[in-house]
Structure 1
Amino acid sequence: MDQQRRAPGRATRTHRTARAAAAALLAFGLAPSPALASSDEPTALPQVTQVKGADEACAPPGTDVIARAPWTSHSLGLTLAHEMSRGRGTSVAVLATGVDPAVPALAGAVEGAASEDCLGYGTFLAGVVAARPLPDSGFVGVAPESTVVPVPTGDADTGLASPADIAAGITGAVGAGARVILVGTATYQASEALDTAVATAEAAGAVVVAPATVPTPDGPFPGFPAQDRTVLSAAAHDAAGDAVLGAPLVRPTGELARVDLTAPGAQVMSVGPGGAGHVTAAGDGVAAAFVAGAAALLVAREPDLSPAQVRERLMTTAYGSPLGTVDPIVGSGRVDPLGALAADPAAAMEAGQARVSGEAFVPEPSGLGSVEAPVTAVVVGVCALVVVLCGVGGAVLRLGRERGWRPAAPSERVTPEEDPRPMVLPLD
């Protein structure tokens, strides 16, 4: 944990504002073209991070509300997906340092006691999952009628979480009855307690979604519990749909790190604590929030699905890679909430029942007659026999003409010794 707990350098903090400005442009749908900018639009949004140094201040509240729908909404097809499901009745546990229930977009969405969120990351993830629509805001959560269950996990000041912290959080989420469990911050260490907690969630019918990687000063490391096959492992992609992870990661065991799905995880807009304004964030934890929201939509529509069936539906309906599911960077591909909902067998049955019933189509008899298998076989056999007989008869007639229709004379007969053709001996 020493490397993971290392505070960011001063140079990183110095350039944070510049990165936030660039991130904001894509987050609220602006291209880097002067023609699309206007004086009443902000040039930057505050940025929240997954972890921070102990000596750094809490995340600043957002003050600007963006009326334009962000790119993530269009990328996921949320407008059409919400016509099929909005996540009603589904509870999503958010394992993070805290969630601010006073944020207007989360009004009525958060269960349990209020918790402080100095980091801002938990509130951000809760917004990605369940933010309610507001009149002047273009942002809405993936499952805007689902319920968020905050499960305080990790150090409240830095956001760092140990395997024991995450295991306890998963166990607490199961106890709260959550159908979807979002692990906001991963760890690069496995543990028996973490394996047990994941198995408990699976047995309880809860879908666990976790970041595929964990950020460290030495770069991304494979994240846990995402390496467990009963956990949906989510990695980030950018606005162009390209994976943020540039190369596959290898675990200490020599195995490739697991990635099941990719989801938006760069230049993403959501809500932050302490105000009504929007903020930005990035990372595999953000991608996991989008996947958790998609799972909530699916569970709300088909509550009888098991965690394994939810994972299978989301993975088989994703926008796949040319390499198939063996792609070590994107797994099964980009998550597609609309595709997962449209693949609902119950929906297909309802659509079939809505059609006008009628009799099976029976073609009219052909004026050229019908074709029946036995008769056809007899006709073909007779034709073949006639062809053979014609060939034999032609040979006989040719020899008959040459001999004047008489038997061969003794002088015309050829003995085996005089026959120039090679002799073919019978095989024993």
Structure 2
Amino acid sequence: MRAGAVRRTLTAAAVCGVFAVCGASGVSGLLAAAAPARADTVRALADGEPDSLPGMTQTLPDVRQSGCRKGSDRVSGRVPWAQAYLRADAVWPLTEGEGVLVAVVGSGVDDAAGVLGERMLAGPRFHDAGQGADCVGHGTFVAGLIAAKRGPGTGFAGMAPRARILAVTVTDAAGNTDAELLAKGIRAAADGGARVIDVAAVSPAAGDSLAEAVTYATAKGALIVAPAAADTPGNRAPVYPAAYPEVLAVADSGPGGAPARPAPAGRVDLVAPGDSVLSTGPSGPGHFTASGPSFAAAEVAGAAALVLGYRPGLSVGQLVHRLKTTAYHPGTALPDAHLGYGSLDPVAATTTVLPEEGELRERVVVLQRLAMPAEPGDGGARTAYAVTGAACVTVLAAAGLACVVPRGLRRGWRPGRYEGSDTGHDAGTRWDR
């Protein structure tokens, strides 16, 4: 090959290498910076949640004096931090939970806001104090977290906005319940065809009828999701039905993914956003904010609906295994007292093909895992720097070859010699090139 051709070829390689470095640097910059940026964005969203929104609670102690919870007249146009953190919308092109029935066993559901529409089914009421569809508003808030469609002027939407909701009322007007009422509600939800049963109310006491109802519903193919503790701050005591092994017990986390409160005394299987979350309430389209494990459990129930919408053939055991296996965890021993098997990751739970499912002949859809914002200092930055370093070595080698090879060809690969004025050149001395 002639020297000029070699020079042009290797120069082109060097230029390509420069572009590779630029591209790699850009990608590496994204890899290095995206993790803290996304985490900071989520925290900023949480810090920016409107303080003026009224709060939602699991019970309403002053219902006799003040009546049922009043509707909110304030609507937030922001995307709530929990929604930005979980990124369930990343799998909506694949599934929005259509065809999956989720039962909300609690204080009832008042869909005055119309965020459920025809997807809301009124189930049995095992405790009716004559105070309307949902006096407390808690069940309505939970149902919104699971399946609300996005309304005009707001960024809020439920996890599975095309799932159906079956409202089963098991509390009095103040939100109080017991093991017997919960047992009736769980059985009714299973008989109603629910694939996922979100038990939004809790009982501090166990009961044979409740344990039997949990076994009954599980055998019928329903996943039961329940909060690992009551929403009351400082209450760590085990509650039912979450204390039963067949139930997926959920604790709540804050914007950084850390537990929002001390570990419950009972078992924790998963954690999900439950601190200062936003959803709809009773008597209108206005929004509320709330904190507690019952709202984290609703996020998990919505994620389960997404998974079943995409993989309807999963058994209860397979669904639980998938939710646990794909959860994000910091590498601690599992299950962890605070985190269980980790933080809910709806994107991974829906799209990941697990090793044991390798025999499934399905088209694998590759999606970027946007659900869990990585924390600063993780492996992303190390990978970025490794990519950049390898690209720099490549371009330096190509540039060096572009300079050395043509000169070697010109002198027949002989070592260079020093030439003086005796060669006939009056311009002084030089190195042979």
Q: Do they fold alike, i.e. is TM over 0.5?
A: yes
Please say if residues 123 and 169 of structure 2, whose CA atoms lie closer than 8 Å, have aligned partners that are also in contact: no
User: Does residue 337 of structure 2 align to residue 298 of structure 1?
Assistant: no
How many pairs were matched up?
Answer: 313
Aligned to 1:93, what secondary structure does the other structure show?
Answer: strand
Indicate conservation of the 8 Å contact 2:238/2:264, yes or no: no
Q: SS of 2:168's equivalent?
A: strand
After superposition, where does 1:309-348 map in structure 2 within 5 Å? 309-344=318-353
Structure 2 equivalent of residue 89 of structure 1: 99
CA distance in 2, matches of 1:303, 1:88: 10
C-alpha distance 247-122 of structure 1, shift in aligned 2 (>3 A): closer
**The structure with more radius of gyration:** 1
How far off is 1:301 after superposition?
A: 1.1
Matches within 5 A, 1:255-294: 257-294=266-303
AA aligned to 2:139 is G
Tell me the CA shift for residue 272 of structure 1. Answer: 0.3
Question: Partner residue of 1:417?
Answer: none
Cα deviation code 1:345-378 (max 9, x no counterpart): 5998444699xxxxxxxxxxxxxxxxxxxxxxxx
- The answer to whether 1:31 aligns with 2:41 is no
The reply to whether residue 190 of structure 1 matches residue 206 of structure 2 is: yes
Summarize the alignment of residues 137-152 of structure 1 with structure 2, pairs less than 5 Å apart: 137-152=154-169
- CA distance in 1 between counterparts of 2:323 and 2:93 reads 18
Query: CA offset at residue 58 of structure 1?
Result: 2.0
Hey, what's the Cα distance between the residues in 2 that align with 1:291 and 1:221?
21
Distance 1:353 1:123, change over 3 A: closer
Q: Matched residue of 1:279: which SS?
A: strand
Cα pair 2:103 2:167 within 8 Å, conserved: yes
Question: For the residues of structure 1 that align with 2:149 and 2:135, how far apart are their CA atoms?
Answer: 22
Query: Given the superposition, is the C-alpha separation of residues 348 and 199 from structure 1 closer, same or farther in structure 2, using an over 3 Å criterion?
Result: closer
Within the candidate set 189, 196, 213, 1:180 is matched to: 196
How far did 1:228 drift? 1.4
Alpha-carbon distance, 1:98 to partner:
1.1
Question: 1:73 offset after TM fit, Å?
Answer: 1.1
- Structure 1 partner of 2:240: 224
- More contact order relative to length (CA 8 Å, sep ≥ 6): 2
Counterpart CA distance in 2 for 1:271 and 1:184 is 15
* 8 A contact 2:229–2:293 mirrored in 1: yes
Alignment match, 2:54: 46
CA distance in 2, matches of 1:42, 1:315: 33
Q: Which moved more, 1:114-123 or 1:212-221?
A: 212-221
| Structure 1 stretches lacking a partner, 5+ long | 1-25, 33-40, 250-256, 355-428
Please report how far the alpha carbon of residue 322 of structure 1 lies from its aligned counterpart in structure 2 after TM superposition.
2.9
Could you tell me how far apart the structure 1 residues matched to 2:203 and 2:358 are?
38
When residues 217 and 133 of structure 1 are mapped into structure 2, their CA distance, relative to the original with a 3 A threshold, is closer
Of 219-228 and 259-268, deviating more is 219-228
> 1:277-302: CA deviations, max 9, x gaps?
11111111101100000111111111
Letter paired with 1:93? A
2:179 to 156, 163, 169: 163
Residues 386-401 of structure 1 aligned to structure 2 (within 5 Å)? none
Q: Distance in 2 between matches of 1:353 and 1:323?
A: 29
- State the distance in 1 between where 2:282 and 2:215 align: 33
Distance 1:192 1:335 in 2: 31
* C-alpha spacing 1:45/1:192, structure 2 compared with 1 (3 Å): same
Q: CA deviation at 1:321?
A: 4.0
Aligned equivalents of 1:246 and 1:144: distance in 2? Answer: 32
CA distance in 1, matches of 2:229, 2:51: 30
- Show the counterpart of 2:391: none
Calculate the TM-score normalised by the size of structure 2: 0.68
Residue 25 of structure 2 is matched in structure 1 by none
The CA deviation at 1:310 is 0.6
Q: Distance in 2 between matches of 1:208 and 1:301?
A: 19
User: 8 Å contact 1:321–1:327 — kept in the other structure?
Assistant: no
- The alignment partner of 1:148 has SS state of strand
Q: Distance in 2 between matches of 1:154 and 1:30?
A: 31
RMSD of equivalent CA atoms:
2.5
Identity value in percent: 38
Q: Which residue of 1 aligns with 2:71?
A: 61
Post-superposition offset of 1:217 = 8.2
1:84 Cα offset (Å)? 2.2
Q: For 1:305-344, what per-residue CA distance to the aligned partner results, in whole angstroms no more than 9, with x for missing partners? A: 1111110000000012432322111100101100111114
Q: Deviations over 1:145-182 (max 9, x none)?
A: 00000000121x21111011111110110111111000
